């Protein structure tokens, strides 16, 4: 039988109201409060209830999450429910924070419910399933019912429908989908075009998402003392591609020693080449410095413009590589660079 664990705050965990919002996380081997309702509706059993004060989670999130993950380590469970949090902001954020952590640590589905006004929706809808819920606890049964019906569907292995049909907030996760009515793209395109011409409403199949912004790094004060690294998504690797970096949809990266190199030698000299499948490799194979400008960096090093060029360059392949993978690889490379006291990076892309 499927096993579920439910997360509640101090109020719904029947500890009390605002005065006990500092309540430390605990896990109980029983169904407390709404956990009873979950248990009634679930095709399975709620085995434990986790209770944590909203303020405790709010002001010690890392500690709270760690402790709760610790509670769960030796528990078997197939699904995790958090909330519903209605319009309670701190509770919503707590449900999101713990839900995200549980999903990442244990790879189980996590389902929550919040009112659309709850700030937890915006913060965590990408990370866990959040269903739109009522404003107050009067909607407890309705909200939990929606959550559990969806949970039952996941547990049964039934194929999940798009977000708009299942009802949870869109998570920014897009998959291809065969239309039931088989309307071909040419009909959809003409329909959209005529509506646009006539000033009628239409729905784009690819709504433009918000553009990411990144905090701007401070400028380097003294370049002549800085060690600078080269990083590329252009797929330049030693001729035998020792790290087996994929030619497209890469999940791996490599670092290659260049401390003794004035300029990168090419494919014919059996040194470096590109394994990137998204562009014509001829020019990069003939002179890899066109993609990873080791030669120019050495010149600036000799001239004293920069302190030094870092002894490794880092490489992966950009084509078809998902943003998540790229971000992960970027973080891993950054970690190494920081550990080695690198002040700046020139990233070349193709």
Partner 1 sequence: MDLENQQRVKDLTEKHGKENLVVILGGAEAEASGLACETVTNGDPTFAGPLAGVQLGLACYHILEPKIKDEVDPEVYDEQVSMMEMVLDVDEIIDEVSTYREKYSQFS
Partner 2 sequence: MKLELGNFYVKDIEFGSETAFNDGILTINKEEALEVVYKDEHITEADLKIVKPGDMVRLVPVKEAIEPRYRKGGGPVFPGVTGSLLQAGDGRTLALKDMSVLVVGKHWGGYQDGLIDMGGEGAKYTYFSKLKNVVLVADTDEEFEKQEQQKKNHALRWAGMRLSEYLGKTLKDQEPEEVESYQLDPVTKRSDEVNSLPNVVMVMQPQSQMEDPGYNDLNYGWDTNPMLPTFMHPNEVLDGAMISGSFMPCSSKWSTYDFQNFPLIKRLYQEHGETINFLGVIMSNLNVVMEQKERAAQFVAQLAKSLGTDAALVAEEGYGNSDADYIACLVALEDAGVKTVGVSNEAPGRDGGSQPLVTLDPKANALVSTGNVSELIKLPPMDTVIGELESLARDGLAGGWEDDEILGSSVKEDGSVIMENNSMFCGDQIAGWSTKTMKEF
Partner 3 sequence: MANLIPIAKTVGANRMVPTISIPYPLGDPSTSEEEQWKLRYHRVGVALNALTTDINEQTVFDVEV
Binding site for partner 2 (CB under 8 A): 126, 160, 162-164, 170-179, 182-190, 192-194, 196-197, 202, 204-206, 208-209, 211-212, 244, 246-249, 251, 277-282, 319-325
**In the complex with partner 1, which residue's Cβ is closer, 33 or 96?**
33
**In the complex with partner 2, which residue's Cβ is closer, 75 or 103?**
103
C-alpha distance from residue 1 to each of 40, 49, 140, 324 (Å): 14, 17, 25, 34
Residue 278: name the closest of 349, 206, 338, 341 by CA. 349
Work out which of 4, 27, 31, 310 binds partner 1, going by CB under 8 A. Answer: 31
If binding is defined by CB under 8 A, does position 94 make contact with partner 1? no
Work out which of 69, 123, 137, 192 binds partner 1, going by CB under 8 A. Answer: 137
Burial 54-74 (b: 16+ CB within 10 A, else e): bbbbbebeeebbebbeeebee
DSSP letter string over 250-263?
A: ----EEEE-TT-SS
Size of the site for partner 1 (CB under 8 A): 14
x-or-dash string of contact with partner 3, 293-312, rule CB under 8 A: x-xxx-xx----xx------
307: partner contacted, choices partner 3, partner 2, partner 1, none (Cβ within 5-8 A by kind) = none
If binding is defined by CB under 8 A, does position 141 make contact with partner 1? yes
**In the complex with partner 1, which residue's Cβ is closer, 33 or 235?**
33
Contact residues for 305 (Cβ-Cβ < 8 A; gap 6+) = 223, 224
C-alpha distance from residue 102 to each of 18, 77, 151, 260, 287 (Å): 26, 11, 16, 47, 48
Task: List the Cα angle 160/150/39 in 5-degree steps.
Answer: 150
Work out which of 12, 56, 168, 253 binds partner 1, going by CB under 8 A. Answer: 12
Instruction: Please state the closest distance from residue 86 (CB atom) to partner 1, in A.
Output: 9
Instruction: Please state the closest distance from residue 285 (CB atom) to partner 2, in A.
Output: 11
Specify the DSSP class assigned to residue 317: B
If binding is defined by CB under 8 A, does position 95 make contact with partner 1? no
User: Measured between alpha carbons, how far is 149 from 144 in angstroms, rounded to an integer?
Assistant: 8
Please answer whether residues 112 and 147 qualify as being in contact, where contact means their C-beta atoms are separated by less than 8 angstroms: yes
Residue 200 burial (C-beta neighbours within 10 Å; 0-12, 13-18, 19+): exposed
If binding is defined by CB under 8 A, does position 148 make contact with partner 1? no
211-250: contacts with partner 3 (CB under 8 A): 211-214, 216-221, 223, 226, 228, 234
Query: Cα 334 to the chain's mean position, in Å?
Result: 17
138: partner contacted, choices partner 3, partner 2, partner 1, none (Cβ within 5-8 A by kind) = partner 1
User: Measured between alpha carbons, how far is 301 from 307 in angstroms, rounded to an integer?
Assistant: 6
**In the complex with partner 1, which residue's Cβ is closer, 148 or 229?**
148
159-218: contacts with partner 3 (CB under 8 A): 211-214, 216-218
Contact residues for 348 (Cβ-Cβ < 8 A; gap 6+) = 230, 231, 232, 233, 234, 291, 292, 293
Where do contacts with partner 3 occur on this chain (CB under 8 A)? 211-214, 216-221, 223, 226, 228, 234, 278-284, 286-287, 289-291, 293, 295-297, 299-300, 305-306, 323, 344, 346-350
């Amino acid at each position: 039988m499927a096993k579920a664990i439910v997360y509640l705050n101090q109020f719904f965990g029947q500890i009390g109201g605002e005065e006990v919002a500092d309540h430390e996380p605990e896990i109980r081997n029983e169904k407390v409060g709404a956990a009873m309702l979950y248990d009634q509706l679930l095709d399975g059993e709620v085995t434990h209830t986790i209770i944590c004060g909203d303020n405790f989670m709010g002001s010690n999130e890392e500690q709270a999450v760690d402790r709760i993950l610790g509670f769960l380590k030796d528990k078997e469970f197939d699904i995790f429910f958090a909330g519903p949090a209605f319009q309670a902001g701190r509770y919503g954020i707590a449900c999101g924070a713990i839900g995200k952590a549980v999903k990442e640590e244990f790879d189980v589905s996590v389902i929550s419910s919040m009112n659309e006004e709850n700030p937890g929706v915006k913060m965590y809808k990408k990370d866990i399933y959040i269903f739109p819920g009522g404003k107050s606890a009067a909607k407890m049964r309705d909200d939990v019912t929606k959550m559990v019906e969806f949970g039952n569907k996941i547990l049964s292995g039934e194929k999940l429908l798009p977000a708009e049909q299942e009802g949870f907030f869109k998570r920014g996760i897009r998959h291809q989908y065969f239309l039931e009515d088989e309307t071909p793209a040419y009909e959809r395109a003409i329909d959209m075009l005529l509506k646009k011409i006539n000033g009628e409403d239409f729905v784009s199949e690819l709504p433009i998402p918000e553009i990411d912004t990144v905090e701007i790094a401070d400028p380097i004060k003294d370049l002549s003392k800085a060690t600078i690294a080269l990083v590329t998504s252009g797929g330049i690797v030693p001729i035998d591609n020792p790290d087996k970096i994929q030619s497209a949809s890469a999940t791996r990266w490599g670092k290659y020693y260049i401390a003794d190199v004035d300029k990168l030698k090419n494919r014919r000299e059996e040194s470096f080449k590109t394994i990137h499948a998204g562009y014509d490799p001829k020019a990069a194979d003939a002179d890899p410095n066109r993609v990873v400008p080791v030669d120019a960096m050495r010149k600036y090093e000799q001239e004293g413009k920069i302190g030094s060029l870092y002894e490794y360059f880092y490489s992966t392949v950009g084509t078809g590589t998902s943003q998540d993978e790229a971000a992960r690889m970027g973080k891993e490379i950054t970690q190494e660079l920081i550990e080695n006291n690198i002040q700046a990076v020139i990233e070349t892309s193709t």
